[in-house]
A and B are shown apart, each in its own frame.
Chain A
Amino acid sequence: MNLTLHVWRQNGPSDKGRFETYQANGISEHMSFLEMLDFVNEKLESEGKAPIVFEHDCREGICGSCGFMIDGKAHGGQHRTTVCQLHMRSFKDGDVLTLEPWRAAAFPVLRDLMVDRSAFDRIVQAGGYVSVRSGSPQDANAILVGKEEVDRAFDAAACIGCGACVASCPNASAMLFTGAKISHLGLLPQGQPERYRRVQAMTQTMDEAGFGYCSNHGECSAFCPKDISLDVIAMTNRDLMAAQVKGRSEG
């Protein structure tokens, strides 16, 4: 099949950026979307032109490296699918596609479709962990966790940190990402001692990074390739309020 791509090209964070148009001809329906871009890039490279920069690594939908908007839909919008697992059979001959990077003040564009998501790392560094040293913790079976609880915690922990939530949110909010970590740890007994300290520190860092607020549109969850539920946001709100009541405010 033959496609027309309008791709956002931006040489660096300070460049203004612009859309450029490329033809992708002779594309097989069995190609993944990124293989289609590889194909376009290989042609550009052999012509000595700068290929389209996009991030990717595992191409199995788990590392969270890849992600951009295809026609206004994060990861292309296929249910539970990152863009690396999206295949060209979802498109048809003659399609015209617009490729844009995640757009958020907290995710500055580094080049083309590649953005800086280090704000996510800072949010986790603020408290997205259980403070335990490597060494000799108690026997793993000494901590009992019900199957339902651990399954809920797992569902939240399935987040791959790709940033599609921020990209899809009309307010560029990072509540789904932050809430997923807060819920993962807050639902487990191991996370209880630091539960309220954690929610305060992480949401504060989230605010400082320049993300917007949550207005419960639900776009984040709808485009999340791991189907993280909006409930993690409700839990975050609840825990932050509880933290005020418990008077464990920091700073």
Chain B
Amino acid sequence: MILESKAPGGDIQTAWQRHKFDIKIVNPANKRKYTVIVVGTGLAGAAAAATLGELGYNVLNFCFQDSARRAHSIAAQGGINAAKNYQGDGDSVYRLFYDTVKGGDFRAREENVYRLAEVSGNIIDQAVAQGVPFAREYGGLLSNRSFGGSLVSRTFYAQGQTGQQLLIGAYQALSRQVKDGKVKLFARTEMLDLVIEDGHARGIITRNLVTGKIERHVADAVVLGTGGYGNAFFLSTNAMGSNVTAAWRAAKRGALFANPCFTQIHPTCIPVSGGYQSKLTLMSESLRNDGRVWAPKNPADAWDMAKGKLGKDPRQIPEADRDYFLERRYPTFGNLVPRDVASRAAKKACDDGQGVAYEGRGVYLDFAESIGRLGQKAVAERYGNLFEMYERITGDNPFETPMRIYPAVHYTMGGLWVDYNLQSNVPGLFVIGEANFSDHGANRLGASALMQGLSDGYFVLPYTIGHYLAQVGPRPKSTDWGSFKQVEGEVNEKTKKLLSIKGKRSVDSFHRELGLLMWEHCGMARNEQGLTTLLQEIPRIREEFWKDVSVPGSEGEVNQVLERAGRVADFLEFTEMMVLDARERRESCGGHFREEFQTEEGEAKRDDENFQYVAAWEFKGVGVAPELHKEPLNFRYVKPSQRSYK
């Protein structure tokens, strides 16, 4: 299979303008003859559904939550980047493009990234027009902050709730279309499969999560904005309901899954506190601006493995016995090294027996020095709400004792493969937001996820989908096609099977088992041996799952266990592809760190000669090795270089 990016060649600065002119446009009077299915109501999904409705298409929009407003985009804290240069500090579209390509460790498609940087400014204009209350200066102008290793201040924010405010903006735009009758919203409805008719994506099968009813929906195109798969690790900062099901079922119907091993670990999360832990909470990256990361030099002061107890009170550990390992290893960047570097350094300290939280998985983030230097009041002004959140969860007051932090899975750069038009290799199937693979390469910069979701939803997909629709023209639509019947039959069969096992183990116990192994061998650091172990373990867990899982109740009612069981069953298939991808990519890049491939100083070592490509995997059957297709990456503008933070 040849993967055509369909990205326009020539001058990258005019590429998107030229492309918009070259692609076909649907006649305004014809738009109402088309129906588009949009799955997901996060930033990408809600923005796309609202915009398509505004343009005149009929939209069917689905989410598994009880309201479109609850999609997990809502939890993003920090901010959204845009190349506005409002601060006059030399920012430009080109600089944002450059930073993103480099930050992604040269594993993203240049043209996509340039377009993202180009429309970033429009997103801010759009959001402000909707009434999103971004932070402002006293003069009434928008305020910015710097973020995530960038040299300019280009991040727009709304306190620590930027994702919430942007999502509510999109949700409100969506609500307007619902009222106008252009968007039909299906809340508490989960997509369980994709229907392909005559080679084109034409519909989905859903389950109504209240009545349990399985339903068929037909359209002219299907758009997936279903988020990432971080919950493959069980513990992550994702919402409990975040899942890979929609994307994975599409993959099983022929869509290629690109770079599944590219996952992002966020360095500052609250550590696990016990075996019952259900999810992890992120603490904003901004804390590292004033907090110093350290671990006890002496393992005797760390977590006591034998007794299963916390070690010495950090306040009692003298300065000489503390290892400020980031400052020691990276004297130039110190505590402000990028996410992947900080995460791996924390892991190393814990691996060396210096860990301080439950099971030795945590390091200190200490504000004592800042409090001494700036005063408690100034620190409270900057981080008060974060300290409050930390205390709420842990019971410890960071003003009095150092925070404990540990890295956690936070975002997945991989996703369904899409071309420049955001169309997958299945005609009529479009993928937007975190669900696709396109813009972040092997590592995402802070404050770029919101930007990509909204860019795809408001400004890219609504144009590029028209190109496809205009080409195929209005077609008859029917849910009576044999394809619907067949796919619905398969969905029902799977549900029946899950309910009939009546085993002894809870769904979560399988999910936890899978997640722990994934975290151990396919998390912050990976190696051939661990990945090979995983490839043996995953099929074993999967087999046991289908023999011994307990799913009480029936399909015709609210059944949260059944919902989770379906999602975990998909993770148990999908993770195999993830691990294979990680094993196949014999280099380290961005969030993908292969221990065999590191520099002498222990930094990631890229192999551009052999791995400068997108790995797009084709599903060949459960338990069967998927087929690898490669899309080579060309860097015409930003020349690959080694990242250094010494």
Residues of A within 8 A of B165 (CB): 154, 157
0/1 per residue, A46-84, Cβ < 8 Å to B?
101111010111111111110000000000001011000
| CB pairs A–B below 8 angstroms (7 shown) | A39-B276, A51-B560, A59-B278, A87-B395, A111-B558, A114-B558, A145-B136
Q: What A residues does B214 contact at CB under 8 A?
A: none
B274–A28 touching, CB < 8 Å: yes
Whether B66 contacts A190 by the Cβ 8 Å rule is: no
Q: Is the CB of B126 within 8 A of A134?
A: yes
CB of B624 within 8 A of chain A? no
Cα(A118)–Cα(B565), bound, Å: 26
Question: Which residues of chain A come closer than 8 Å to B274, judged between CB atoms?
Answer: 28, 30-31
Inter-chain CA distance A78–B393, complex, in Å, is 12
Q: Are B557 and A11 neighbours in the complex by a CB distance under 8 Å?
A: yes
Complex interface: chain B residues within 8 A of A114 (CB): 558
Contacts of B68 in A (CB 8 A): 121
Shortest C-beta distance, A124 to chain B (Å), equals: 5
In the assembled complex, the CB of B223 is this many whole angstroms from the nearest CB of chain A, namely 15
Q: Does the CB pair B66–A45 fall under 8 Å?
A: no
Q: Do residues A110 and B558 form an inter-chain contact, with CB atoms below 8 A? A: yes
Judging by beta carbons under 8 Å apart, are B175 and A60 in contact? no
* B535 proximal to A (CB < 8 A): no
Tell whether A144 pairs with B75 under 8 Å between CB atoms, given A63-B70, A65-B66, A133-B54.
no
In the bound complex, CA of A229 to CA of B420 (Å): 46
Partner of A139, one of B69, B125, B127, B168: B125
110-126 of chain A: CB within 8 A of chain B? 110-111, 114, 116-118, 120-121, 124-126
A153 interfacial by beta-carbon distance below 8 Å: yes
Q: Once bound together, how far apart are the Cα atoms of A28 and B276, in whole Å?
A: 9
* Per-residue interface assignment for chain B, residues 424 to 437, with 1 indicating a CB less than 8 Å from any chain A CB and 0 otherwise: 00000000000000
Bound together, the chains give a CA A45 to CA B508 distance in angstroms of: 10
The complex places the Cα of A49 from the Cα of B551 at a distance, in Å, of 9
Tell me whether B392 and A140 are in contact (CB under 8 A): no
A179 within 8 A of B: no
Contact B462 A160 (CB under 8 A): no
Give the bracket for the number of chain A residues in contact with chain B: 35 or more
Cβ contact within 8 Å between B133 and A137? no
Partner of B172, one of A30, A63, A130: A130
Instruction: Report whether A144 and B139 are in contact in the complex, using a CB–CB cutoff of 8 Å.
Output: yes
Q: Mark A174-207, 1 if CB is under 8 A from B, else 0.
A: 0000000000110010110000000000000000
Chain B residues positioned under 8 Å from A65 (CB to CB): 65-66, 70
Which residue of the partner chain B has the closest CB to A124? B175
- The answer to whether A118 and B187 touch across the interface, beta carbons within 8 angstroms, is yes
Contact partners of B279 in chain A: CB under 8 A:
59
Q: Residue of B at shortest CB range from A45? A: B506
Whether B176 and A158, one on each chain, are in contact in the complex, defined by CB atoms closer than 8 angstroms, is no
Question: Which single residue of chain A is at the shortest CB-CB distance from B187?
Answer: A118
Question: B287: shortest Cβ distance to chain A, in Å?
Answer: 16
For A145, list chain B residues within 8 Å (CB): 136, 140
- Nearest CB to that of A191 among chain B residues? B131
Minimum CB distance partner of B71 in chain A: A63
Known A-B contacts A60-B75, A63-B70, A190-B131; the reply to A38 vs B508 at CB < 8 A is yes
Name B232-269 residues within 8 Å CB distance of A: 237, 239-241
Tell me the bound Cα distance from A135 to B122 in angstroms.
8
A8 to chain B, nearest CB (A): 14
Shortest CB-to-CB span from A112 to chain B, Å, is 8
Instruction: Tell me, in angstroms, the Cα distance from A55 to B64 when the chains sit together.
Output: 12
**Min C-beta distance of A173 to chain B, whole Å:** 20
Total interface residues in chain B, CB < 8 Å? 86
Given contacts A30-B273, A64-B70, A140-B124, contact A134 B54 (CB under 8 A): yes
Question: Is the CB of B483 closer than 8 A to any CB of chain A?
Answer: no
A59 touches B140 (CB 8 A): no
Query: B74 at the A/B interface (Cβ < 8 Å)?
Result: yes
Q: Given the interface contacts A35-B277, A50-B553, A128-B175, does A42 sit within 8 Å of B239 by beta carbon?
A: no
A60 shortest CB reach to chain B, Å: 5
In whole angstroms, how far apart are the Cα atoms of A118 and B65 in the complex? 11
For B465-491 the 0/1 string (1 means CB < 8 A from A) is 000000000000000000000000000
Instruction: Please state if A134 and B278 are interface contacts (CB–CB under 8 Å).
Output: no
Cβ-defined contact, A134 with B552, below 8 A: no
Are A129 and B175 within 8 A (Cβ)? Answer: yes
The yes or no answer to A141 lying at the interface (CB within 8 A) is yes
Assess whether A34 is in contact with B502, with CB atoms less than 8 Å apart.
no
Q: Which of A30, A49, A55, A138 is B125 in contact with, Cβ under 8 Å?
A: A138
Q: Is residue A17 within 8 Å, beta carbon to beta carbon, of the partner chain?
A: no
Q: Is the CB of B281 within 8 A of A48?
A: no
User: Within 8 Å of chain B (Cβ to Cβ): is A245?
Assistant: no
B402 CB to closest chain A CB, in angstroms?
18
The verdict on A230 contacting chain B, using a C-beta distance below 8 Å, is no
B129 within 8 A of A: yes
Q: Are B129 and A132 within 8 A (Cβ)?
A: yes
Interchain CB contact under 8 A, B278 and A138: no
Chain A, 142-186, contact with B by CB distance < 8 Å: what is the 0/1 string? 011111001101100110110000000000000000000000110
- Whether A12 sits at the interface, judged by CB under 8 Å, is yes
Contact of A144 among B141, B210, B557 (CB under 8 A): B141
Residues of chain A within 8 A of B505, CB atoms compared: 46
Contact A42 B137 (CB under 8 A): no
| B459 contacts chain A at the CB level, 8 A cutoff | yes
Q: Which of B51, B159, B502 contacts A134 (CB 8 A)?
A: B51
Cα-based distance from A54 to B593 in the complex (angstroms): 39
Contact indicator A57/B392 (Cβ below 8 Å)? no
Q: Are A62 and B161 in contact (CB under 8 A)?
A: yes
Docked-complex contact B66 and A118, CB < 8 angstroms:
yes
Q: How far is the CB of A188 from chain B (nearest CB, A)?
A: 5
User: In the complex, A184→B172 CA distance in Å?
Assistant: 12
Asked whether B75 lies within 8 Å of A62 as measured between CB atoms, the reply is: yes
Contact string, B53-77, partner A, CB cutoff 8 A, digits 1/0? 0100000000001111111101100
Chain B neighbourhood of A140, CB < 8 A: 84, 124-125, 127-129, 134, 142
- Judge whether A190 and B129 touch: CB under 8 Å: yes
User: A48 to chain B: which residues have CB within 8 Å?
Assistant: 502, 550, 552
Residues of B within 8 A of A190 (CB): 128-131
Beta-carbon contact of A12 and B557 below 8 Å: yes
Q: Mark A92-125, 1 if CB is under 8 A from B, else 0.
A: 0000000000000000001100101110110011
Please tell me if B509 contacts chain A, counting CB pairs below 8 Å.
yes
CA distance A161 to B179 in the complex (A): 19
Q: Closest CB-CB distance, A64 to chain B, in whole Å?
A: 6
Structural contact, B179 and A126, CB atoms closer than 8 A: yes
Q: Which residue of B lies closest to A129 (CB)?
A: B172
Give, as a whole number of angstroms, the nearest-CB distance from B623 to chain A: 27
Q: Is the CB of A50 within 8 A of B552?
A: yes
What is the bound-complex CA distance between A28 and B358, given in angstroms? 13
Q: Tell me the smallest distance from the CB of B522 to a CB of chain A, in Å.
A: 23
Bound complex: CA A132 to CA B176 (Å): 10
- 1/0 per residue, CB under 8 A from A, across B105-145: the answer is 00000000000000000101111111101111111111000
Q: Which of A46, A56, A61 contacts B504 (CB 8 A)?
A: A46
Cross-chain contact A58 with B74 (CB below 8 angstroms): yes
Q: Do A87 and B392 have beta carbons less than 8 Å apart?
A: yes
- State whether B50 touches A134 (Cβ < 8 A): yes
The answer to whether A124 touches B172 (Cβ under 8 A) is yes
**Cβ-based interface call for A136 (8 A):** yes
B75→A63 contact, CB < 8 A = yes
Contact A51 B561 (CB under 8 A): yes
A215 close to chain B: CB less than 8 A:
no
User: Does A32 lie at the interface of the complex (its beta carbon under 8 Å from any beta carbon of B)?
Assistant: yes
* A217 contacts across to B, CB distance below 8 A: none
Chain B residues whose CB sits within 8 angstroms of the CB of A151 once the complex forms: 133
Docked complex Cα distance between A160 and B140 (Å)? 26
Does residue A237 face the partner (Cβ distance < 8 Å to B)? no
Query: Ordered nearest first, which 6 A-B pairs have the shortest CB separation?
Result: A144-B140, A129-B172, A137-B129, A140-B128, A154-B133, A30-B273
